Structure 1
């Protein structure tokens, strides 16, 4: 199959955009689609694409933990994370194109995702300790709190999706529900792609601290809302 044909096939085989933010919907998924078509053309497997995603994200994490913050470092970290995120979208799209979705592929994808979000906030903590002139040692607690919130959002959403009854290839709650553009806009602050952009501020210590703290506060608010929503949805299953 030629690159153009693969791209057209991928456009027809997209997952639902319900519950997906504007960044993932209009930037990351289209970028992943191009990468998936290219990977298909050269005969790559979905697991190989997942490992490329891990390599880009891992390189960004190492740079963040080991190099003095600067504008150049911020650009390098952002680029590594954003490209890794695009490849993270590409592996699933490639699996659908090749009709090779598997339990081991899904397992590898989720393990890499979990490692990425955990290691990224750990790298921020290391960078704070090694390079930043923090107003107070208490700021070292911020990456730990952010890590806690993001891991709970990731795991809670994943587990909720797994526990919901599936009907016709989708969850009961998602059937017949049209994607909301307003919801996609509201979810933008907690999209991983949005979070990646905060590292462009690494050249300005104060700006990065403020931006990172604001995003942490937003994630905490969304965590509370998500947990309440997921609990209600799963509790309602008993009456269905």
Structure 2
């Protein structure tokens, strides 16, 4: 789903580094400390988290803090959104926007992984991470609306409602999932071990994974292909939103 739940960023440099880890050792330590794959799509599990792991190890060696990594993520995503809003659609712009969003998403995973490596998680870091995520999700669909209005010869004005609807669905999925996770009680000591993550569920979640969503911008060089691809993803998000809201409400009613 939107925002890979790989962990929130932390504040400050964390605990003192008694022994500096090599890049390879940091990658191995991060792999061993990876959070559960439950509720995570195949893209986040096998592409975004491993990429974030490498970036987190590099950030560790560069002595960056988790919050600094969060801001790097915001910079890549913000540059991609600005290019989408201000540039004229073309195939080179398509690749640039996709690359900026994907790299920003990988750094979004890296900040939480670095926080766990340093033992530096904090409420302030988690707040910053989620605020950046929310801004990114909101801004990217606003930029699509600007592109539709400025550059596309739309068949009708109704198409201008599409980015607004997609924005609403994406924000509700992000916020609803985040709030549900916060309100559900955490498993205490002695609780039964969670069931292993379902590969079928991981495949089913691909259409609402942010990394998969980013792929639609590779179609930006063709107005028709982009509009139809964006419309198809919106339809899938709308269906998943209904299913997610019903599921989350049922789970919280049992609390």
Alignment of 1:10-159 (within 5 A): 10-159=30-179
Alignment of 1:141-220 (within 5 A): 141-168=161-188, 175-220=193-238
Find the aligned partners of 1:216 and 1:4 in 2 and give their Cα distance: 40
2:10 aligned residue: none
TM-score, normalised to structure 2's length? Answer: 0.90
TM-score, normalised to structure 1's length? Answer: 0.96
Find the aligned partners of 1:28 and 1:219 in 2 and give their Cα distance: 20
How far 1:42 moved relative to its partner?
1.2
Aligned CA-pair RMSD = 1.4
Find the aligned partners of 1:174 and 1:151 in 2 and give their Cα distance: 33
Q: Which runs of 4+ in 1 moved over 2 A?
A: 172-175
Q: How many residues align?
A: 235
How far 1:173 moved relative to its partner?
10
Task: Structure 2: state its 5+ residue gaps.
Answer: 1-20
For the structure 1 residues 163 and 140, does the alpha-carbon distance in structure 2 shift closer, same or farther, using more than 3 Å as the test?
same
For the structure 1 residues 157 and 175, does the alpha-carbon distance in structure 2 shift closer, same or farther, using more than 3 Å as the test?
farther
Find the aligned partners of 2:216 and 2:233 in 1 and give their Cα distance: 9
For the structure 1 residues 106 and 26, does the alpha-carbon distance in structure 2 shift closer, same or farther, using more than 3 Å as the test?
same
2:23 aligned with 1:3: yes
How far 1:167 moved relative to its partner?
1.9
Find the aligned partners of 1:39 and 1:68 in 2 and give their Cα distance: 34
Alignment deviations for residues 75-94 of structure 1 (CA, whole Å, 9 cap, x no partner): 00000000000000000000
Secondary structure of 1:7 counterpart:
helix
For the structure 1 residues 175 and 164, does the alpha-carbon distance in structure 2 shift closer, same or farther, using more than 3 Å as the test?
farther
How far 1:176 moved relative to its partner?
1.5
Task: Structure 1: state its 5+ residue gaps.
Answer: none
Find the aligned partners of 1:212 and 1:175 in 2 and give their Cα distance: 39
